[in-house]
Amino acid sequence: MKTIHVSTTINGDPAEFICTPDETLLDVLRNRLGLTGAKEGCGTGDCGACSVTVNGRLVCSCLVLGAEAQDADISTIEGMADGDTLHPLQRAFIEHAALQCGICTPGILVAAKALLEKNPDPTDEELRYWLAGNLCRCTGYDKIIRAVQAAAAEMRGA
Amino acid sequence: MQYVAAKTADEAVALLVGQSGMARVLAGGTDLLVQLKSGMVEPDLVVDIKRIPGMKDITAEAGGFRIGAAVSGAELGEHAGVCAMWPGVVEGFNLIGSTQVQGRATMAGNLCNASPAGDAVPSLVAADATARVHGPNGARDVAILGIPAGPGRTTLAKGEIITSIFLPARPARASDAYLRFIPRTEMDIAVASAGVSLVLAADGTVESARVALGAVAPTVLLAEEAAKAITGTRLEEDALARMAAACAAICKPIDDKRGTVEFRTKTAGVLAKRAARIAYDRAGAKK
Amino acid sequence: MALDAYQKREFKQVGTRPNRPDGVDKVTGRAMYGADATAPGMLHAKILRSPHAHARIVSIDTSAAEALAGVKAIVTAADFGVPEDDFLRDVQDHCMARGKVLYDGHAVAAVAATTIAAAKAALKLIKVEYETLPHVTDVDAAMKPGAPVVQAGRAYENVPAGMSENVTHHCEFGHGDLDAGFAKADRVVERHFKTAATHQGYIEPNACLASVTSDGKAELWVCTQGQYFYRTLCAALLGMEASQLRVTASEIGGGFGGKTMIYMEPVALALSKKAGRPVKLVLTRDEVFRATGPTVSSSMDVKIGMTKDGRITAAQARLCYSGGAFPNTTVDMGAQAAFAAYDLDAVQTLGWNVMTNRPKESAYRAPGAPLSIYAVESVVDELCQHFGLDPLAVRLLNAADKGTKSSYGPTFDQIGLKATLEAAQAHPHYTAPLGPNQGRGLSCGFWFNFGGNTCVSLNVNTDGTVGVTEGNPDIGGSRASISLMAAEELGIPYEKIRTIVADTSSLGYNDVTDGSRVTFAVGLATIKAARDAIRKMCSRAAKIWGIDEEAVEWVDGAAVPAGPNAGKFPPMTLAEIAAVSAETGGPIAGHYEVNADGAGVSFGVHLCDIEVDPETGATKVLRYTVFQDAGKAVHPSYVEGQMQGGAVQGIGWALNEEYIYGTDGRLQNAGFLDYRIPVASDLPMIDTVILEIPNPGHPYGVRGVGETGIVPPLAAIANAVSRAVGVRMTELPMSPPKLLKALEAKG
């Protein structure tokens, strides 16, 4: 299969890669660019572990072709902290024990950040529906909801 | 597999016509990529239509709205005009998949995937929307009900693509609603669903109604008897009961892992009743 | 009193909630899981799986696949030996079918190639000729005479004669005179229950990276709950010495018991050996559902007699569990756990294991117990409803306590059941008002807990920090709780401790992370290793001071002269002793090795409120509270996390999760779309109340908390549904079509 050359922006930095036409953005991030923070839990858009944003939209990177990333602006979990400084959501997840195994955590953080940018003061219900596509099997979601709300409150106050 | 991002609708049509093997159109990709992953389809060509001018546009037209074939659920949900005029269409479309899926999924894609359970379709049928189809012989407008041919099949000919969906103008005191049944609260395929569009008369009775049912037959059903049952009424209990019975009467569902014939048939009527009430309240609340 | 027995103390750090040591890695995407590793020259592997539920493999032709460009190795069962040991042979046959495929998704061949695409293409070129055989996937059908036989000649000696060959195992527990007991009852209720198989549903698919070199050494990077057990099994199947195979546990993306067993690791090793290159093998979600994990499915009968004032007079359960296509004994645990919450004069549980054409069962959080306890707690509740008795009061009246001869034999030591029930009774949730179509249910839960083989090293660094080396993958924050216990015992700040999980070459054998054993057993070994290090530090201080080492005590992180020498020298802190260790005898380390006993059983009680939509049969969980005895909650946040996570898994099991088989014996819902684990919007907050009834067998009183939480939700929800809408759901899951049908039948 003939490869395609793609120029894009990832976490604010220009990035170039080649991929086959059937390779997903998730495959490209993980296997070609070494960005393994996005996880493949299902490969069919049912678990959200591969969440990234493309041009500001929250998507499952397993449901995007690498070729579609041409000229796009992509953000992944690797770009969430500002250098050494964790994003308030990242800090809240640690402080509220909102992760157990941690495999869903990158996807949930990316998804929660996208929500708070759109809606800085979500209700629990809005938050639960927004995150319904991010499966977590460890926590029962309780501490995740609390952590996001704590981070949201902190961000509103800041 | 070859990937091409077409720059015009004509280029997309020409590419599709020129492909002797299997070709697939890529808009949101939320069905296509799942099929690729599972090996269910192995296309020779994928034509991405998102870079065609106008495909991501929502434009006011003849009192209604034209929605580009690549407009995502998230984008439509943020459009105040469409949300106010056709809330049932938006809520149906917005029920598909997760927030992540909404970032990509399109109504045209949901229509062309031709699942009997597609959440965008019943409301579009109830809305009497039309799809603009581009093909080798130019453009034509097709009623939504005319697109699906059966599970996974459409009436589109080789080389034809949907470029936009048109939602017509609404009179005052009109609205719509969509409900589906799923075992969880999110992330499931509809076991049964109902879209209801109502226009109310000045006295608060239903002047006209369109009722569409999903996941209870090989394609979405337009439930004309159900609509008749509530026309001229104020959705009194007996009218709603007649409506539910009329819905049940036309259901031809299957038993599968997602639901039984019995369950789907019963639920479709329940959902139609509830959706009618919501549409009625929405229409009545309008000035 | 044994040295490791519980001693009451004032804790300074245990019981606080510090940040977990692996937190930053896990919120920044840096943590390395099974699929995240690469190796130079790495190949990618894919497995060809059976499309049939049951078939004889007539032939496998791999020649065309071998000829494909990029293909470096193909293995089938022919590349493995035939282990004599039944257990090992079953494990291997599960990894790679030999002669017959026993379930849809059973592996028949595997390919390693330079790209995933080439490996996938090669799978299509492997020609397998099958002769299909009649299959059976239902537990009751499989027990009938004349049912298709999954494997012949596998019944253990304890199976009564005259049963289908699929019945491989029988067990019996209990005591007392059943007939006399039932005769004393004012009412006897007997009900039949059936439950579908469920999957652990861990979000990280099984993944490994194997590298076998020509000198016979091998490395295996794998997401596992037990690197040592994986080493034991893989070494045996590959014919290697344990020392030559180093297994490193990656960060693990969930396991819940499902990653206590190998599924494809020996296949990756065999491919690597054959290809002479590292091989990465990552399962797809479809493969995870079809070929790993699931629980038993069950068919159960429970009979309980009760007097009108709520005393249980006799109880009996007959449990038939199917653990898939291989013999297993999970039913033993279901049978032992069934009536554990009750103090009974007459009780009997009988169990049978039945083979079916389904994947081999793996442990899932309290394996076997949720099912039998669902059945028992449902019948107890029905009796309470009949007599109009308060269900908590009845449970308190019959509750097992210290000194109770348990239904499975042992006599209980100090247990927390009554305290847990009383906490539930006193909680505002129990008396909160309910609306129409709403109901409140409750259920007790139980798990045995386990200790097991454990080995910990604790190294005192010269800068005054401490490294703890343990051998159990951290599946939910255990590095934090181990660090806390080390900090507590040593008397130094939590931040000075770094706990790591060792590979199999760096530490002695540790049992799998299972049985809720880690905080208990590794914690115990860590405390003992710290005490070992403390003894050595006291000795170093004594040497420096020139006094007898018995005359030195360890107080608040420092050696202090005691007895006749008290006050003669200023205390020497850990850091001060460590800094001069080179002059006093060299590095300081503490060690402890144990096959830990005394895990201490765990009880819990769940309260839940639900609402049923009577027109659709949908059940919504409105409020949920978990009461559980943790012995001592070392890091309360992660204890709560276990309680919440377990409860939600149980809620999923109760309402929607199930393996759905077609008449062709194939699994129809091998994905997260149709295998419906709970999503965030399905749930309320899960409130928790931690009880602390010290476990006499642990220095800090710790009990395992990981498993009990999954047990009560099944009956708690069934009981709530019954109280909300008057139908008793005796089949799981209580999915909307089933509930609506029951509602219509009731009229």
pLDDT tens across C128-150, in order?
A: 999 999 999 999 999 998 999 99
Q: What percent of chain B has pLDDT over 70?
A: 99
Q: Do you know the residue count of chain A?
A: 158
Q: Do C683 and A97 make contact, defined as CB atoms within 8 angstroms?
A: no
The mean per-residue pLDDT over the stretch A38-60 comes to 98
The mean per-residue pLDDT over the stretch C637-651 comes to 98
Residues B250, C164: Cα–Cα separation, whole Å: 46
Residue in chain A closest to B29 (alpha carbons) equals A63
Does the beta carbon of C214 lie under 8 angstroms from any beta carbon of chain B? Answer: no
pLDDT band at C156 (very low <50, low <70, confident <90, very high): confident
Q: How far separated are the first and last CA of chain B, in Å rounded?
A: 54
Which residues in chain B are closer than 8 Å to C741, comparing Cβ atoms? 262-263
Do A17 and A70 belong together in one domain?
Answer: yes
Among B187, B189, B263, beta carbon nearest to C740: B263
Do A15 and A67 belong together in one domain?
Answer: yes
Q: Do A100 and C36 make contact, defined as CB atoms within 8 angstroms?
A: no
Residue in chain C closest to B273 (alpha carbons) equals C615
Number of A to B CB contacts under 8 A, please give it.
92
Residues 111-150 of chain A with CB under 8 A from chain C are: 124-125, 127-129, 131-146
Residue in chain C closest to A146 (alpha carbons) equals C685
pLDDT in tens, C91-103: 999 999 999 999 9
Residues 373-412 of chain C with CB under 8 A from chain A are: none
pLDDT in tens, B93-104: 999 999 999 999
pLDDT value at B287 more than 80: no
Do A138 and A98 belong together in one domain?
Answer: yes
By CB neighbour count within 10 A (0-12 exposed, 13-18 middle, 19+ buried), where does C422 fall? middle
Q: What percent of chain C has pLDDT over 70?
A: 99
pLDDT value at C1 more than 80: no
> Do residues C147 and C164 make contact, with C-beta atoms less than 8 angstroms apart?
yes
Preceding omega of C51 cis (within 30 degrees of 0): no
Q: Do A63 and B74 make contact, defined as CB atoms within 8 angstroms?
A: no
Do B11 and B91 belong together in one domain?
Answer: yes
Full residue range of the structural domain in which residue A142 is found: 88-157
Q: Which of C313, C290, C318 is nearest to C375 (CA)?
A: C318
Do B158 and B107 belong together in one domain?
Answer: yes
Which tokens in the block code for residue C491?
């008397």
Is B122 a member of any domain?
no
> Do residues A145 and A152 make contact, with C-beta atoms less than 8 angstroms apart?
no
If one counts the domains in chain B, the total is 2
pLDDT value at A10 more than 90: yes
Do A68 and A127 belong together in one domain?
Answer: no
Among A76, A86, A136, beta carbon nearest to C27: A86
pLDDT value at B73 more than 60: yes
Do B141 and B189 belong together in one domain?
Answer: no
Q: What is the pLDDT of residue C235?
A: 98
Full residue range of the structural domain in which residue B52 is found: 2-115+130-167
Which of B100, B102, B184, B186 to mutate to test binding with chain A, by most A CBs within 10 Å of its CB? B100
Longest Cα pair distance anywhere in chain A, in angstroms? 52
pLDDT in tens, C213-262: 999 999 999 999 999 999 999 999 999 999 999 999 999 999 999 999 99
Q: What is the pLDDT of residue C4?
A: 60
pLDDT value at C474 more than 70: yes
Q: What is the pLDDT of residue C162?
A: 82
Which of C651, C668, C673 to mutate to test binding with chain B, by most B CBs within 10 Å of its CB? C673
pLDDT band at A1 (very low <50, low <70, confident <90, very high): confident
Do B105 and B184 belong together in one domain?
Answer: no
Residues C467, B91: Cα–Cα separation, whole Å: 55
Average pLDDT in chain C: 97
Distance from CA of C378 to the nearest CA of B (A): 23
Does the beta carbon of A104 lie under 8 angstroms from any beta carbon of chain B? Answer: no
Helix then strand then coil, in percent of chain B rounded to 5, is: 35, 25, 40
Is B120 a member of any domain?
no
Tell which of A57, A79, A101 closes a domain: A79
Residues B228, C300: Cα–Cα separation, whole Å: 50
Distance from CA of A118 to the nearest CA of B (A): 11
Q: At A121, which CATH number? A: 1.10.150.120
Tell which of A12, A45, A79 closes a domain: A79
Which residues in chain A are closer than 8 Å to C683, comparing Cβ atoms? 128, 140-142
Q: What percent of chain C has pLDDT over 90?
A: 96
Does the beta carbon of A90 lie under 8 angstroms from any beta carbon of chain C? Answer: yes
Q: Do A57 and B104 make contact, defined as CB atoms within 8 angstroms?
A: yes
Which of A22, A101, A115, A130 to mutate to test binding with chain C, by most C CBs within 10 Å of its CB? A101
Number of B to C CB contacts under 8 A, please give it.
54
Structural domains in chain C, CATH included, are 41-133+204-253+259-291 (3.90.1170.50), 297-449+600-746 (3.30.365.10), 452-595 (3.30.365.10)
Do B96 and B192 belong together in one domain?
Answer: no
Q: At B274, which CATH number? A: 3.30.390.50
Is B162 a member of any domain?
yes
Which residues in chain A are closer than 8 Å to C203, comparing Cβ atoms? 39, 41, 47, 49, 101, 103-104, 135-137
Do A68 and A9 belong together in one domain?
Answer: yes
pLDDT in tens, C546-589: 999 999 999 999 999 998 899 999 999 999 999 999 999 999 99
Q: What is the pLDDT of residue C674?
A: 96
Does the beta carbon of C663 lie under 8 angstroms from any beta carbon of chain B? Answer: no
Do B232 and B252 belong together in one domain?
Answer: yes
Residue in chain C closest to B263 (alpha carbons) equals C737
Do A74 and A123 belong together in one domain?
Answer: no
The mean per-residue pLDDT over the stretch B4-12 comes to 97
Do B148 and B30 belong together in one domain?
Answer: yes
Do B20 and B159 belong together in one domain?
Answer: yes
Do A72 and A10 belong together in one domain?
Answer: yes
Does the beta carbon of A153 lie under 8 angstroms from any beta carbon of chain C? Answer: no
Residues 235-264 of chain C with CB under 8 A from chain A are: 251-256
Contacts by B257-263 with C-beta closer than 8 Å and gap 24+? B257/C660, B257/C668, B257/C669, B257/C674, B258/B117, B258/B188, B258/B189, B258/B191, B258/C674, B259/B191, B259/B192, B259/B215, B259/C737, B260/C737, B262/C737, B262/C741, B263/B191, B263/B192, B263/C617, B263/C736, B263/C737, B263/C740, B263/C741
Which residues in chain C are closer than 8 Å to A22, comparing Cβ atoms? 117
Which residues in chain B are closer than 8 Å to A57, comparing Cβ atoms? 72, 74, 103-104
Q: At B155, which CATH number? A: 3.30.465.10
Do B153 and B198 belong together in one domain?
Answer: no
Q: Do A39 and C204 make contact, defined as CB atoms within 8 angstroms?
A: yes
Distance from CA of C588 to the nearest CA of B (A): 53
pLDDT value at C3 more than 60: no
Do A12 and A74 belong together in one domain?
Answer: yes
Which residues in chain C are closer than 8 Å to A96, comparing Cβ atoms? 637
pLDDT value at B188 more than 90: yes
Residues C514, C331: Cα–Cα separation, whole Å: 17
pLDDT value at A43 more than 80: yes
Which of C24, C42, C203 to mutate to test binding with chain A, by most A CBs within 10 Å of its CB? C203
Q: Do C616 and B270 make contact, defined as CB atoms within 8 angstroms?
A: yes
Tell which of A79, A113, A143 closes a domain: A79
Do B11 and B152 belong together in one domain?
Answer: yes
pLDDT in tens, A99-156: 999 999 999 999 999 999 999 999 999 999 999 999 999 999 999 999 999 999 999 9
pLDDT band at C697 (very low <50, low <70, confident <90, very high): very high
The mean per-residue pLDDT over the stretch C527-533 comes to 98
Q: In what order do the strands lie in the sheet with C588-596?
A: C497-501, C466-470, C452-460, C588-596
Kindly tell me the sign of the dihedral angle through the C-alpha atoms of A49, A50, A52, A58: negative
pLDDT in tens, A57-105: 999 999 999 999 999 999 999 999 999 999 999 999 999 999 999 999 9
C402, C415, C420, C557, C601 from C411: Cα distances, Å: 8, 11, 19, 39, 11
Is B125 a member of any domain?
no
Which residues in chain B are closer than 8 Å to A48, comparing Cβ atoms? 98, 100
Is B123 a member of any domain?
no
Do B45 and B179 belong together in one domain?
Answer: no
Is B124 a member of any domain?
no
Distance from CA of A61 to the nearest CA of C (A): 15
Q: What is the pLDDT of residue A2?
A: 87
Is B194 a member of any domain?
yes
Which residues in chain C are closer than 8 Å to A86, comparing Cβ atoms? 24, 27-28
Tell which of B104, B138, B167 closes a domain: B167
Q: What is the pLDDT of residue B286?
A: 65
User: What's C361's DSSP letter?
Assistant: P
pLDDT value at C403 more than 90: yes
pLDDT in tens, C651-661: 999 999 999 99
Q: Do you know the residue count of chain C?
A: 747
Residues in B lying within 8 Å of A, measured between beta carbons: 1-3, 5, 26, 29-30, 33-34, 36-38, 46, 48, 50, 72, 74, 97-101, 103-104, 185-187
Do A63 and A123 belong together in one domain?
Answer: no
Among C286, C682, C740, beta carbon nearest to B185: C682
Which residues in chain C are closer than 8 Å to B259, comparing Cβ atoms? 737
pLDDT value at C174 more than 80: yes
Do A109 and A75 belong together in one domain?
Answer: no
Do A138 and A121 belong together in one domain?
Answer: yes
Q: Do B97 and A24 make contact, defined as CB atoms within 8 angstroms?
A: no
Do A32 and A64 belong together in one domain?
Answer: yes
Does the beta carbon of A9 lie under 8 angstroms from any beta carbon of chain C? Answer: no
If one counts the domains in chain A, the total is 2
Q: At A14, which CATH number? A: 3.10.20.30
Do B107 and B201 belong together in one domain?
Answer: no
